[in-house]
Structure 1
């Protein structure tokens, strides 16, 4: 039976901005929300009906979360699997611990891509000196990534030869790693796929992304440089990956388009994603409402993009001038632009590289959205070329 709006309580493990936007979407449908997060000042905890301030492995807090909620999700992929397993003994948990565990480990993730029939970059798993010695020459130059706990470019090293590879493996603490062959990239894409407990699957339009220093900077939808056939392939691949895990909820699958036109999968995130924030203003159903629908067993209808959009990620650097003095960004100037929709995350302190908010700029045409987004970049002091 579905958990109907206005008659159920939904729980969230994690109190960051993704949890905050999930809570807003759930509350708009009439659900009550409980957040479990150890930070007393967490953005999601500030807007939920209840905030359990406890560690994610606090057994008593998890028991209380299960007692108060009818279904529970997570807003970050590194939530301890044990927490999800405990909650799943008595409540609907989406996504489930087994799917999240695959996404938490790059080696398992790559194996799942292979099993799903979706091409990824050639790779090798490194767990020992023997694995290091056995690395094929063809994988160099490459990128060495820790198998666990890497995100936004963290836990990664570019290596040109065997000497650099050995040094990087030592530098990363000789933890389990994945070495990926460095490929000639033309574009970066992502696809949001949503799967329900009954196996139904819907996908959002393909998103074209630009990263700077390993952090997402710009997302454009529709993807301006990707033909219809490649977009259809990306959406089919994302659906196959989600289905193969028995996934329930919103999953973001990231892809590379190579210079020769081939599509390869890069990685996935078991939650709503930074590159999907455009859905809040450019689609009839946001990625956060879709997460609510999937975990509550509500209908998953194909989302509709009603406006071309550019999403700009707003990092804490904007709150400081060139001399490092704190300042307030010119929000009034930005909000005067037609189609500009500002979302700030309620974080008390700005820091360089910290995700503080995002700006969605919609237009009647893709070019109009792009022009207005570039005006916003000029006002904020962001690079205006992408």
Structure 2
């Protein structure tokens, strides 16, 4: 992030590289605080571009478009980690960028990411880099199999991953993944999954949301539950400490999500990080006094970071395209929103996507309640109405 003389105050323009739903929610948060917004995304129908003051329709590596974005904004952020790090470097020559290209580049490469976790003293699963016939042959099967072979770059929501149990399956999987550099991770006995969202300011101030318990289905986040006692307190303390260490080790500025596996013995290993707001933090829009998207605005604008306070137990349900159906005449039938919104504490967030596809994130439902039991009961009712499997 380039040096700046002071905070960027409302009335100025904040930019975001990427026009998906995370960019859309960032734009909404920035606009609510009085900022103008600009989005760079090649899709004319991008969710963020549709609601932003300005939409620059161009590729992320278009130097002219990047210059236009930098020239019109007081600061720039990104809404997903797979934008070219070089684009962030180019922007940073003339405008503050948070998070910095170096941090995003580490998050784009599983091998570099794991090396960073190890440097920060955070436990990781046993793993090995496979990028040649020699490294494939050198795999210690007793230590690393059965495991999951993951592409080192460009994997998300379960994509670019293959489970393997034998050397033969490992060799076949690497071939299936086009022999690109991969990381083989040993499969561990998991009890559950959790994540931590931290926000770190230019001045090094660091705040966090409560630890979030997550349920994934088919590699995609399905449910997040956040309330006191959702995880043992020892695990909560360890996850918070680890996430803060990872952010500090990057000299990070912005919102960072760190995902963890909780093993059967209660110990934690870090899975991966996302240098941006995260699906598991969406509950904060309705369950906390400061959302992860407002934290993103505050970080990039150099505003004070207030420690968020959770005011209601909360559960987030991911709404995938599978919940929409085709009528006999071919028209798209939406889920029963009227029935869902009749339930107390239900807050609907849709992303403005016109085409529902299986596995595509169309929106989310935040459910808040006076108690964890009340929130859970309502969330299960909503899930039944929507056709989401119980949890």
TM superposition score category, shorter chain reference? over 0.9
TM-score when scaled to structure 1?
0.98
- Structure 1 stretch 332-341 or stretch 226-235: which is displaced more? 226-235
Q: Residue in 1 aligned with 2:60?
A: 56
Displacement, 1:74? 0.3
Question: Given that residues 8 and 74 in structure 2 are in contact (C-alpha distance below 8 angstroms), is that contact kept between their aligned partners in structure 1?
Answer: no
Question: Given that residues 207 and 223 in structure 1 are in contact (C-alpha distance below 8 angstroms), is that contact kept between their aligned partners in structure 2?
Answer: no
Displacement, 1:224? 4.6
| Counterpart pick for 1:270 among 271, 275, 297 | 275
Alignment of 1:164-175 (within 5 A): 164-175=169-180
Report the 3-state secondary structure (helix = DSSP H, G, I; strand = E; otherwise coil) of the residue aligned with 1:378.
helix
Count of matched residue pairs:
385
Displacement, 1:3? 3.3
Displacement, 1:222? 1.7
TM-score when scaled to structure 2?
0.97
Report the 3-state secondary structure (helix = DSSP H, G, I; strand = E; otherwise coil) of the residue aligned with 1:110.
helix
* Partners of 2:237 and 2:304 in 1: CA distance: 23
* Partners of 1:116 and 1:215 in 2: CA distance: 27
Question: Given that residues 3 and 297 in structure 1 are in contact (C-alpha distance below 8 angstroms), is that contact kept between their aligned partners in structure 2?
Answer: yes
Alignment of 1:87-166 (within 5 A): 87-137=91-141, 138-166=143-171
RMSD of aligned residue pairs (Cα, Å) = 1.3
Alignment of 1:1-386 (within 5 A): 1-137=5-141, 138-222=143-227, 224-320=229-325, 326-384=332-390, 386=391
Question: What does the per-residue CA deviation read over 1:14-34, in whole Å, with 9 as the maximum and x for residues that have no partner?
Answer: 000000000000001100000
* Partners of 1:101 and 1:170 in 2: CA distance: 25
Question: Given that residues 14 and 36 in structure 1 are in contact (C-alpha distance below 8 angstroms), is that contact kept between their aligned partners in structure 2?
Answer: yes
Question: Given that residues 258 and 274 in structure 2 are in contact (C-alpha distance below 8 angstroms), is that contact kept between their aligned partners in structure 1?
Answer: yes
Report the 3-state secondary structure (helix = DSSP H, G, I; strand = E; otherwise coil) of the residue aligned with 1:46.
helix
Runs of 4+, deviation exceeding 2 Å: 1-7, 321-326
Displacement, 1:2? 3.6
Residues 161 and 103 of structure 1: CA distance in aligned 2, closer, same or farther (over 3 Å): same
Question: Given that residues 307 and 365 in structure 1 are in contact (C-alpha distance below 8 angstroms), is that contact kept between their aligned partners in structure 2?
Answer: yes
5+ residue gaps, structure 2, are none
Question: Given that residues 5 and 29 in structure 1 are in contact (C-alpha distance below 8 angstroms), is that contact kept between their aligned partners in structure 2?
Answer: no
5+ residue gaps, structure 1, are none
Displacement, 1:326? 3.2
Displacement, 1:4? 3.9
Question: What does the per-residue CA deviation read over 1:210-245, in whole Å, with 9 as the maximum and x for residues that have no partner?
Answer: 000000000000265411121011001000001101
